[in-house]
Amino acid sequence: MEQFVWRVLPLLTILVSFLVFFYLQDSYWAQLHPLVKLPQNKCSLLHHHHFWLTSKRILTPQGIISGSVEIKEGKIISVIEGYSKQGKSKHEEVIDYGDAVVMPGLIDVHVHLDDPGRTAWEGFDTGTRAAAAGGVTTVVDMPLNNHPTTVSKETLKLKLEAAENRIYVDVGFWGGLIPENALNTSILEGLLNAGVLGLKSFMCPSGISDFPMTTIHHIKDGLSVLAKYRRPLIVHSEIQQHSKKHLELNDKGGPRAYLTYLHTRPPTW
């Protein structure tokens, strides 16, 4: 037994030495270049006062570079070319994305997050998760498809309540311009004062019962209010026709052909 112990002991000593060596080496490099693993359920960057994002592919106005992005107090303060030039202090966190692309977040100003009322179509949870997964960091929600539609400060409040604790990117909101609020300045001003970024209207049926179409007169009334707030109006500007012949599909047209699609649209804009 004693002979066995004396044979095994040197091997154990060598093994422990290797383990200690690699542990100390990892600790040394961790102090120089501490890496942060992002948890699946939340973003871990928010609590860092000062950190770096490194990548071999960073998209800048001058093109793609290999380097580092320095972020302090939530703002980008420098972009440095050179993959290893970061983390001057051991107290600065470094997240190394390797070959993954680091680029500015995209902005999508036309999304339909159909909460409340039609979550089965799309909701804040699924819609903003999908946006984040695709690199979109800001979306602006359209005022229709949700029920009720976003046409007053009261219905905007319902939107905000539905969004609470369920969004994963920045979200803004369009308000709706419909005959009811176009003819009632107080409703429209209440909606704008509540924080919508602008208004959307349809000059043809929207397909949503509580979002009726507007005429040129409604639009003019809405613009007079919007001018005071310096916010935009976006218009679905297909003009409603009395005849429905233009909506009839030609049997000769292929269902996937772009010309077939054009024949289904009103001829006047």
CATH number, domain at 33? 2.30.40
Residues 84, 122, single domain; the answer is no
| Residue 9 within any structural domain of the chain | no
Write down the pLDDT at residue 230: 95
Residues 34, 121, single domain; the answer is no
Q: Select from 73, 88, 103 the last residue of a domain.
A: 103
Write down the pLDDT at residue 34: 34
CA 154, 156, 158, 160 dihedral sign is negative
Write down the pLDDT at residue 237: 84
Residues 176, 97, single domain; the answer is no
Residues 82, 118, single domain; the answer is no
Write down the pLDDT at residue 253: 67
| Residue 6 within any structural domain of the chain | no
| Residue 88 within any structural domain of the chain | yes
Pairing of strands 63-72, 106-111: unpaired
| Residue 243 within any structural domain of the chain | no
CA distances from 254 to 29, 167, 263, 264, 266 (A): 63, 41, 11, 13, 19
Taking a C-beta distance cutoff of 8 angstroms, is the pair 78, 70 a contact? yes
Residues 70, 140, single domain; the answer is no
Residues 120, 215, single domain; the answer is yes
| Residue 7 within any structural domain of the chain | no
Write down the pLDDT at residue 257: 87
| pTM score | 0.68
Q: Side-chain half-sphere of 147: how many Cα atoms within 13 Å?
A: 9
Number of domains in the chain: 2
Write down the pLDDT at residue 256: 83
Write down the pLDDT at residue 246: 47
Residues 119, 179, single domain; the answer is yes
Question: First CA to last CA across the chain, in angstroms?
Answer: 97
| Residue 261 within any structural domain of the chain | no
Q: Select from 103, 123, 153 the last residue of a domain.
A: 103
Residues 120, 38, single domain; the answer is no
| Residue 3 within any structural domain of the chain | no
Residues 72, 187, single domain; the answer is no
Residues 90, 204, single domain; the answer is no
Q: pLDDT tens digits, the chain, 269 residues: what are they?
A: 555 545 655 555 555 554 544 444 444 333 333 333 333 455 544 567 888 999 999 999 889 999 999 998 888 999 999 876 555 555 568 889 999 999 989 999 999 999 999 989 999 999 999 999 988 999 999 999 999 999 999 999 999 999 999 999 999 999 999 999 999 999 999 999 999 999 999 998 898 999 999 999 999 999 999 999 999 999 998 776 655 544 454 556 677 888 888 877 767 66
Q: Under DSSP, is residue 94 helix (H, G, I), strand (E, B) or coil?
A: strand
Residues 34, 153, single domain; the answer is no
Find the domain containing 27 and state its range.
Answer: 22-103
Pairing of strands 199-202, 233-236: parallel
Residues 110, 99, single domain; the answer is no
Write down the pLDDT at residue 107: 96
